[in-house]
A and B are shown apart, each in its own frame.
Chain A
């Protein structure tokens, strides 16, 4: 059978199993969304404040302070393109039985994937947030202070002013983890009905020759990333207003 025919058949079956809600497919989609959703929640909770702080806080005018800030930002930008498998490896080493937090027994569990994805998405969320708040007129803080804002209130207002850019940060963070395969494979173990997410599911089902199911997952993943990209475009357009 020609590859193109397999593809076609798989596509038809995929749509079928998607719409009839084949349990395997449903389970994987659901786990994927829950794991990446939780990871996103965690990373947002740390990444937005961290990005805002980096973007707004001046660590002093000394050479050391300025160099330190530059270096940290360089790390952050590197982190945005950091290979997820390397994060996977580090998390693996941490969680493995002899690792520092091996006693948690989280290796090959959904929690492990959440941890890895939280780390992967962090630089993306923090980096984009930093860029967004840096784009807000620096004199605005003085105006807010002058109107009686505490430093803390002024920071909240500035994040609000950068809200479109910050939303872009969150969506980009989600995009970086939902389609990530290496780390999820390494620390999750791709266990049927336990730690199988969209990406690792595609790998496994393809290996088993279940092209239709693999394709079904592929379509879901594609749809999610498509929606993410549409949202990004929409928001980035508004952020430029």
Chain B
């Protein structure tokens, strides 16, 4: 039996009384890579914000390691710090590459993370740019800095929001390899949002499809891709869905 990290029950999020995310029942297991697919506006980023305790749910319950975390204000700091997101936009600080990667350690008052920093920079292939100003980097390099910045804090759960969208094949495969190895080596639970069905299939053990704020289907990757239970899943993975 896999350990459950997140348990969602009837979780709903609405903005101005418009429901943008509604998940009936979902369990996310420790150490898995869960792919979340869905067209633009499906509510994927909104779900990640709730899973990272950044926004409260409008109704329903989210349990993280058994702790109820529906209200974002009440989550203790040591729990918050177990989860981190790499957002769709890299949002780097206007300092050096190294300064960016060191940020999470600085927040935690961890001195002497020099070795960790070097390692992280090396893994994203940016050790030669550690002194460069983050703003001057290319799009792909910025994404990799954002990934390294999340990696150094060694989160229990890593939420990735379109980590390789709009990147060239070189950066895409670099990032994909990194995701796989973080998951394998550290046992990090990874929730990967992507609207690229091929990427979801390549990387995740389980996949979930969201449409218009709803969870359509979730299951083992191969099973879902070969025998989808919902006709909408079939048309989405065939690329027939118009969006």
Is B108 interfacial (CB 8 A cutoff)?
Answer: yes
Interface hits, B89-146 → A, CB 8 Å: 89, 91, 93-94, 103-104, 107-108, 135
CB distance A147 to B91 under 8 Å? Answer: no
Q: Which residue of B lies closest to A158 (CB)?
A: B93
Interface hits, B62-107 → A, CB 8 Å: 77, 80-81, 83-85, 87, 89, 91, 93-94, 103-104, 107
In the assembled complex, which residues on chain B have CB atoms less than 8 Å from the CB atom of A148?
A: 77, 80-81, 84, 104, 107-108, 153
CB distance B104 to A143 under 8 Å? Answer: no
CB distance B108 to A146 under 8 Å? Answer: no
Q: How far is the CB of A168 from chain B (nearest CB, A)?
A: 16
Q: How far is the CB of A204 from chain B (nearest CB, A)?
A: 47
A21 to B94, CA, bound (A): 44
A150 to B84, CA, bound (A): 13
Q: How far is the CB of B157 from chain A (nearest CB, A)?
A: 11
Q: Which residue of B lies closest to A154 (CB)?
A: B107
Number of interface residues of B (CB under 8 A): 23
CB distance A153 to B87 under 8 Å? Answer: no
Given contacts A139-B87, A142-B49, A142-B87, contact A147 B153 (CB under 8 A): yes
Number of interface residues of A (CB under 8 A): 16
Is B54 interfacial (CB 8 A cutoff)?
Answer: yes
Contact of A153 among B49, B89, B91, B107 (CB under 8 A): B107
Contact of B77 among A137, A143, A150, A161 (CB under 8 A): A150
Is B149 interfacial (CB 8 A cutoff)?
Answer: yes
Q: Which residue of B lies closest to A142 (CB)?
A: B54
In the assembled complex, which residues on chain A have CB atoms less than 8 Å from the CB atom of B49?
A: 142
CB distance A146 to B52 under 8 Å? Answer: yes
Interface hits, B5-55 → A, CB 8 Å: 49, 52, 54
Q: Which 8 A-B pairs have the closest CB atoms?
A: A148-B81, A146-B85, A143-B91, A147-B104, A148-B107, A142-B54, A146-B52, A149-B107
Given contacts A146-B85, A147-B104, A148-B81, contact A161 B93 (CB under 8 A): yes
CB distance A137 to B91 under 8 Å? Answer: yes
- 13 A–B contacts from the bound complex (CB under 8 Å): A137-B89, A137-B91, A139-B87, A146-B87, A146-B159, A147-B103, A147-B104, A147-B150, A148-B80, A150-B77, A153-B107, A161-B94, A241-B135
Is A157 interfacial (CB 8 A cutoff)?
Answer: yes
Given contacts A145-B54, A147-B149, contact A140 B91 (CB under 8 A): yes
Given contacts A147-B107, A147-B153, A150-B107, 18 further A-B contacts (CB under 8 A): A137-B89, A139-B87, A139-B91, A143-B87, A143-B91, A145-B54, A146-B83, A146-B84, A147-B150, A148-B77, A148-B80, A148-B104, A148-B107, A148-B153, A150-B77, A161-B93, A161-B94, A241-B135
A153 to B103, CA, bound (A): 11
In the assembled complex, which residues on chain A have CB atoms less than 8 Å from the CB atom of B52?
A: 146
